[in-house]
A and B are shown apart, each in its own frame.
Chain A
Amino acid sequence: MRMFFAILVCKLGRFVGKLVGKGSSMPGKAALKICPDILRRVQLPPHIIAVTGSNGKTSTVEMIAAILRADGKHVVYNEEGSNQIEGVTTLVLTNATFGGKVKADVLLLESDERYARFSFRFFHPTQFVITNLYRDQLTRNGHPEWVYDAILPALHPDTELILNADDPLSSCFAEGRKTVKWFGLDRCALSTDAPTGVYHDGAYCPRCHAPMVYDYVHYNHIGAYRCTACGHAKPTTDYTATALDLEQGVLTLDGTVEIRLAFRSIYNVYNILAAYAACRECGVAAETVRSVINNYMLKNGRMQTFTLGRHHGTLLTSKHENSIAYDTNLRYVAASKADCTVLVIVDAVSRKYFTSETSWLWDIDFGLLAAPHVKKVLLSGRYCNDLAERFSFTEVSGWTVVPEISEAAEQLASEGGEDLYVITCFSDRDKLLNLPAVKKEA
């Protein structure tokens, strides 16, 4: 009876919430008050896939959903990104019958790294994809090992883990587990022999702290690592990107599945790999994956093109406080060939909380912009001085500080017609995109 009542309250709350434009966590919260173990009582679908990690969660989940739906499966997932237990409860109950049966083949959950253990207290995923663990929102998360320790209790022994073989830290989740599937990228044209970036999180083994060596590296400390003491090393992969040509935008999976990349970023490659591995584990044929992911344009708006004056602009959304996300986008700009201007905006460090913390700027490899085709760099937003100080320690020339974002846009609108890349976060992107001079492309 309590379950019925909780489901009713949740459905009604969600209905009213949608009418008044409220978020999706309140109805779940109310339901949990009525029936705290409601998630244990409901009848969940046969496949429950969870995705967590520092980077790529949203994109990976979106692609998994698209593939599974193309395969004819009814997928329920937290599209609105509400990934704590209250949001998960709302999602589950609004898609359940009053008898408590969730009407879906697959429950797909983007899961917050720190809260996964709470979400999965009453049920556990059949598959758990962990994309990676990097320095991300350290103001909130402390450091990657702290996040590792927070995720660990969320991993039920019966859950199959789908792990990134190329990440030395998140691969440690496999320790002592029976069912693990690995995805990873073989050596390819973009691989280097040694780690890149301004800090080196792969220098020491996350298990024993002995020095690690690399056979090859794809970016930062992601690649084929090997501990010199304890044997921790990149494992043999089950789902493999066997060839990658980012310049041509072609990715080959398991030697046969060829995919054209709509967005030629190494990030996109790893997200595709994770989605491919998860869907194959759910019995989807490789050809179905290929047909969906080929030239797949993400709908989550992380990349937006626009015009500003005579400039054609690309907004590369990078999470503030996430140096690897920044580095990836900076590398994308560095790899572009045509003359360009780059606008970097740091105005609000986070949209969720206030902080003046800018240490993370020092973890970003802004020196990647020291390329002949990068003609000009504008630094803008409240923390433009901190950015400028950081740039003063790089080899990048031609950077100037324009504190007001609108002034930077006016300056760009009035002169030049070279490509424009804007590197900023969700918290700041609309401060540019909503200016009248900026015309968004579909």
Chain B
Amino acid sequence: MDIRILHFYPDLMSLYGSYANVSVLKRALEALGNTVTVETVTPGGSAEVAGADYLYMGAGTERAQKAALADFVRYGEAVKALAEAGCPMLLAGTAMELLGKTITAADGTVYHGIGLGDFTSQQGTKRFVEDVYGHTELCPEPVVGFMNKCAVISGVETPLLTAVELGYGNEGAKTPEGFRYRNVLASQLTGPLLVKNPRLLDKVVEAVYAYRNQPLTGPVPHDAWTEQGYAITAEQLKLRV
């Protein structure tokens, strides 16, 4: 099938190799015989959100995040409609906060998110930095990643990681992390979490197929490198739990 991915603000929200989440999904979908188009959305540009099969936004600095938000609110209603319809999305790093009700910056300024989730983000002057080892209901394998954020997120009732054994979650050390609603995934784990977690990539591919009402007949192909890389990181992090 022809699959249309929208990548929001790739130059603005580009920290920690965020783009690789798109690269690895595109490659997996292509290996399954699909034709994949990635359209980039730039601030002030015009994008046709309706009809997209997958939306993605990566991590940005707190200032870049506000610039992204100023543009993203234009698409708020369309994004929410797609989410309700089951369109898969991933919002990584600070992009996650855009889905909530409000973001309060360290200086106290309050910004309104698109309100897909019922949560609020309070940014501060301290960063929460640590490797993360946690669990999601999406798959039995643990999720590995790295946290580097300055926000405490309150009010998430459906987290992506329901248990965090190492590192920071939404509200502090070892609290649930991220946000999940239908096929929308959001996580503050930085960088290419779909590269680091092959099973999460599987779930995203399955969600794309489900959204298009197409059967996924075989397993999602992975490099041996990804599997081995995941195994080593998971082993290293488990030692620290």
A401 CA to B228 CA, complexed, in Å: 12
Judge whether A355 is part of the interface by a CB distance below 8 angstroms: yes
Judge whether A43 is part of the interface by a CB distance below 8 angstroms: no
A140 CA to B146 CA, complexed, in Å: 11
Nearest opposing residue in chain B for A388, CB measure: B225
Tell whether A359 pairs with B191 under 8 Å between CB atoms, given A198-B19, A200-B14, A209-B63: yes
Q: Which of A181-210 contact B (CB under 8 A)?
A: 198-201, 203-204, 206, 209
Q: Which residues of B contact A388 (CB under 8 A)?
A: 223, 225, 229
Whether B228 contacts A203 by the Cβ 8 Å rule is: no
Judge whether B212 is part of the interface by a CB distance below 8 angstroms: no
Whether B229 contacts A385 by the Cβ 8 Å rule is: yes
Judge whether A138 is part of the interface by a CB distance below 8 angstroms: yes
Whether B61 contacts A383 by the Cβ 8 Å rule is: no
Tell whether A143 pairs with B225 under 8 Å between CB atoms, given A360-B16, A360-B17, A362-B20: no
Whether B20 contacts A393 by the Cβ 8 Å rule is: yes
Judge whether B11 is part of the interface by a CB distance below 8 angstroms: yes
- Chain B's nearest CB lies how many Å from the CB of A307? 31
Q: Which residues of B contact A144 (CB under 8 A)?
A: 61
Q: How many residues of B contact A (CB 8 A)?
A: 38
Whether B148 contacts A142 by the Cβ 8 Å rule is: yes
Judge whether A373 is part of the interface by a CB distance below 8 angstroms: no
Whether B61 contacts A143 by the Cβ 8 Å rule is: yes
Tell whether A359 pairs with B17 under 8 Å between CB atoms, given A388-B225, A389-B225: yes
Whether A389 contacts B236 by the Cβ 8 Å rule is: no
Judge whether A357 is part of the interface by a CB distance below 8 angstroms: yes
- Chain B's nearest CB lies how many Å from the CB of A212? 10
Nearest opposing residue in chain B for A140, CB measure: B129
Whether B16 contacts A359 by the Cβ 8 Å rule is: yes
Tell whether A362 pairs with B19 under 8 Å between CB atoms, given A142-B150, A356-B131: yes
- Chain A's nearest CB lies how many Å from the CB of B27? 8
Tell whether A200 pairs with B11 under 8 Å between CB atoms, given A383-B232, A388-B225: yes
Judge whether B206 is part of the interface by a CB distance below 8 angstroms: no
Whether A199 contacts B14 by the Cβ 8 Å rule is: yes
How many A-B pairs with Cβ below 8 Å?
107
Taking a contact as CB atoms closer than 8 A, the residue among A199, A356, A389, A392 that contacts B144 in the complex is A356
- Chain A's nearest CB lies how many Å from the CB of B168? 13
Judge whether B185 is part of the interface by a CB distance below 8 angstroms: no
In the complex, per-residue mask of A351-369: 1 if CB is within 8 Å of any chain B CB, else 0: 0001111111111000000
A355 CA to B239 CA, complexed, in Å: 12
A218 CA to B5 CA, complexed, in Å: 33
A362 CA to B16 CA, complexed, in Å: 7
Judge whether B64 is part of the interface by a CB distance below 8 angstroms: yes
Q: Which of A138-175 contact B (CB under 8 A)?
A: 138-140, 142-146
Taking a contact as CB atoms closer than 8 A, the residue among A204, A359, A393 that contacts B67 in the complex is A204
Whether A383 contacts B229 by the Cβ 8 Å rule is: yes
Q: Which residues of B contact A232 (CB under 8 A)?
A: none
Whether B67 contacts A209 by the Cβ 8 Å rule is: yes
Whether B192 contacts A359 by the Cβ 8 Å rule is: yes
- Chain B's nearest CB lies how many Å from the CB of A138? 6
A200 CA to B40 CA, complexed, in Å: 14
Whether A145 contacts B229 by the Cβ 8 Å rule is: no
Judge whether B62 is part of the interface by a CB distance below 8 angstroms: yes
Taking a contact as CB atoms closer than 8 A, the residue among B129, B146, B225, B226 that contacts A359 in the complex is B146
A361 CA to B192 CA, complexed, in Å: 10
In the complex, per-residue mask of A381-404: 1 if CB is within 8 Å of any chain B CB, else 0: 011011011001100000001000
Nearest opposing residue in chain A for B66, CB measure: A209
Judge whether B36 is part of the interface by a CB distance below 8 angstroms: no
Whether A361 contacts B17 by the Cβ 8 Å rule is: yes
Whether B61 contacts A357 by the Cβ 8 Å rule is: no
Whether B131 contacts A143 by the Cβ 8 Å rule is: no
Judge whether B127 is part of the interface by a CB distance below 8 angstroms: yes
Q: A residues within 8 Å of B by Cβ?
A: 135, 138-140, 142-146, 198-201, 203-204, 206, 209, 354-363, 382-383, 385-386, 388-389, 392-393, 401
5 contacts between A and B (CB under 8 A): A146-B61, A204-B64, A359-B190, A385-B226, A392-B223
Q: B residues within 8 Å of A by Cβ?
A: 11-12, 14-17, 19-20, 23, 27, 43, 61-64, 67, 127, 129, 131, 144, 146, 148, 150, 190-192, 195-196, 223, 225-226, 228-229, 232-233, 236-237, 240
Beyond the given A199-B11, A203-B11, could you list 11 further A-B residue pairs with CB under 8 A, ordered by the A residue number? A138-B16, A139-B129, A140-B129, A206-B63, A209-B67, A357-B146, A359-B17, A359-B192, A383-B229, A385-B226, A385-B232
Q: What 10 A-B pairs have minimum CB-CB distances, sorted nearest first?
A: A362-B17, A359-B191, A385-B229, A203-B11, A209-B67, A388-B225, A357-B146, A359-B16, A389-B225, A385-B228
